[in-house]
Amino acid sequence: MTYRYHYDSPLGGITMASDGTALTGLWLDGQKYFASTMPKDCKEKPLKIFEETIHWLDIYFGGAEPDFTPQLSLESTTFRKEVWEILLSIPYGKTMTYGEIAKKIAEQRGLVRMSAQAVGGAVGHNPISIIVPCHRVVGTNGSLTGYAGGIEKKMQLLELEGGLEKQQRKMEKCKY
């Protein structure tokens, strides 16, 4: 059985999903691929994992870096899971480019290169937004591209982490 729960955040509603033990989804209401891993026959139910996730979100939206991660269950292809593991390694307030992620995966797989576009597809299909920080991935020149929740929300999340100002300075340097 899959369970769902709603959270009101400063960015709007957030819908969470769980298998009863781990978090399986977290989407900003209305985002692209909303509830992509959540079956239609799920039940609304308060669970311990939702309490932990709400605690994490409260800390995060309070402007601090949470010192724990709720238990996650990320089910997908091996490639997507590899990309999502790299997303989990991007530090709070920092960013990484699609190309840098592609290079890491190519190295892990012993390949000469990997497509940054393929990485972009995996990033875009991340089912656990914010906690698996796909908002920290930027274009090659530092541009704020491609966020399933919308560029405005990506900017708000990076600003909350103190990373937006740093990102804008990087982009200014690229212009010259």
Asked if 134 is an active-site residue, the reply is: yes
Q: Kindly list the strands in the beta sheet with 43-44, ordered across the sheet, starting from the edge strand earlier in the chain.
A: 23-28, 12-18, 3-9, 43-44
Query: CA–CA separation, 11 vs 9, rounded Å?
Result: 5
Catalytic residue among 101, 134, 138, 160: 134
Calculated CA dihedral for residues 133, 17, 69, 103, nearest 10 degrees? -30
Q: Which of 116, 123, 92 is nearest to 102 (CA)?
A: 116
Packing angle of the helix pair 116-124, 98-109 (nearest 10 deg): 110
The residues annotated as belonging to the active site are 134
